[in-house]
Chain A
Amino acid sequence: MFTASPLLIGFASILALLIAGTIASFWMAGIRARVKTWWVIVVALGAAMLAGRMGVIVLFALISFIALREYLSLVPTRREDRPALLLAYALVPASYLIVALDWYGIYLVFVPVYVFLLMPAVLVLNGRTKGYLAATGILHWGIVITVYNLGYGALFMNTPPAEAPLGGAGLLFFLLVVTGLNDVFQYIAGRTIGGPKILPSVSPNKTWAGFLGGVVLSGILVCLLAPIFTPLPWRAILILAVLMPVAGFAGDVTMSAVKRDLGVKDASKLLPGHGGALDRLDSLTFTAPLTFHVFAFFSSVRF
């Protein structure tokens, strides 16, 4: 399935963009680190997709682990919670094992229902009630965002080949490209148009013009790519054209609010030019489950 031409052309276009970015970075020193990091991200994703379903599952498990570690290092934690946090890390391989086994029904409820019940029950064992409610809420938000929501990216790889024109890899490619370019579109539109701020106390650089401009550009991108990479009917494509950019924006500003609440600008220094893993993944944590469920609702028999 991977060798089907649109996916190859898609990857070739991304590489062409990167090469253009690299050439531009000879003059623009400001974007050098950012472009270099994009190379690492694109090569890692490309290699994982070439390796197939298990390659993507392993890469996404690593990404979820790094994102969860970054989150748990940033938020308030209590010394007594260390064993519970170790268990939270163990949920990463557990959740991706469910993806690897293709237990779709169990994946849907594992984190939102059973981990939601398990973690408070484990946290209560250390006997410290001061800060208990905050600790359970903080932990669950992080697990859902970094493990459950990102896991939908890998879950796309379980799509039966007959259900999508380019298989699960095509759907995942569509999700990643739209989410990534939506970030870029919103940034560029905001910079070039300006105007009134949309959420000045959370993200001082974001404007209404940037948001709406980004929604329009990303919407056009969805309408162009979805007929090639997805089996979705037009009404579903139009829903995604609006919802994907809005969800990407929501993921971006919610993570900004979390960072502002904790008094940091970037989640970490993991990715030079980008900040931390959470700074790069914020939009994807919202768009991944949404895109998956639109596909599951409108087109898939399996899901």
Chain B
Amino acid sequence: MRGLALVLLRPVWWLLFGLSVGGRERLPREGPAIVAANHNSHFDILFLLSAFDRRAVQNVRVVGAADYFLATPVLRFVALRLIGLLPIERRVERGAVDPLEGARAALAAGRILIVFPEGTRGAPEEMGRLKSGLTKLVRETGAPIVPVYLQGAGRILPRGARVPVPFTCTMLVGRPIAADGDRAALMARLGAAFARLKAAAPPLHWT
């Protein structure tokens, strides 16, 4: 169902946002795997999901903030039923369950996780600092990271905006990054991969 709905949305994205996907074949078809993307807009999630193979998408979970997406019943329904949200607690008290536990279990069950390592949408079309919780997950589970750079979604619906405005979007999928080396080295490789993908995207004149 979810796969079919996402495939049916593809022509809509094509017409409204001219979404072009570079390196679609690099998106994982089987888990455990992690897709790490930059995050500027709610549209990021929809574009990423629609880029996956129709069968693989059943297996995809999106890691997102529990305090935001589970706040209202409508949002909760959309997030859990349609998007496939894997809620994560952003603020954790001492002694509570490890917030990464759900993600760890999903990877162990062979799922593909979409994570936004900046942690929040931030300013439109700018990349924030990458958070290192991702590397902890990778080192524990051995799942490869596929970096994805999204350009343009921050103009369509930036944080705080209510009405989407059509703009052309580009999605660039990078080569998988193997889960070896220490955390700092892994973070550096991920940062470099994002920088390379960003440099390959069309120039953006946006102020």
Contacts and interface: CB of A to CB of B under 8 A. Distances in A.
B207 A79 contact: yes
A162 B76 CA distance: 62
B20 A270 contact: yes
B124 A86 contact: no
B18 to A, nearest CB: 6
Contacts of B168: 69-70, 73-74, 268
Given A62-B15, A89-B166, A79 B20 contact: no
B166 A69 contact: yes
Contacts of B152: 73
B197 to A, nearest CB: 15
Contacts of B161: 82
Interface string A244-270: 000000000000000000111000111
A76 B206 contact: yes
Contacts of B39: none
B129 interface: no
A131 interface: yes
Interface string B102-129: 0000000000000000000000100000
A263 B203 contact: yes
Contacts of A269: 20
Contacts of A72: 166-167
B184 interface: no
B205 interface: yes
Nearest to B170: A269
Given A131-B207, A268-B20, 17 more contacts: A66-B15, A69-B16, A69-B167, A73-B18, A73-B152, A73-B155, A74-B168, A74-B202, A74-B205, A76-B206, A76-B207, A77-B205, A79-B124, A86-B163, A264-B203, A268-B202, A270-B18
Interface residues of B, number: 20
14 contacts: A62-B15, A69-B17, A69-B18, A69-B167, A70-B18, A70-B168, A74-B168, A74-B202, A76-B206, A79-B124, A83-B163, A262-B203, A268-B168, A270-B20
Interface string B169-207: 000000000000000000000000000000000110111
Nearest to A77: B206
Interface in B66-85: none
Contacts of B16: 69
A293 interface: no
Contacts of B205: 74-77, 262
A235 to B, nearest CB: 43
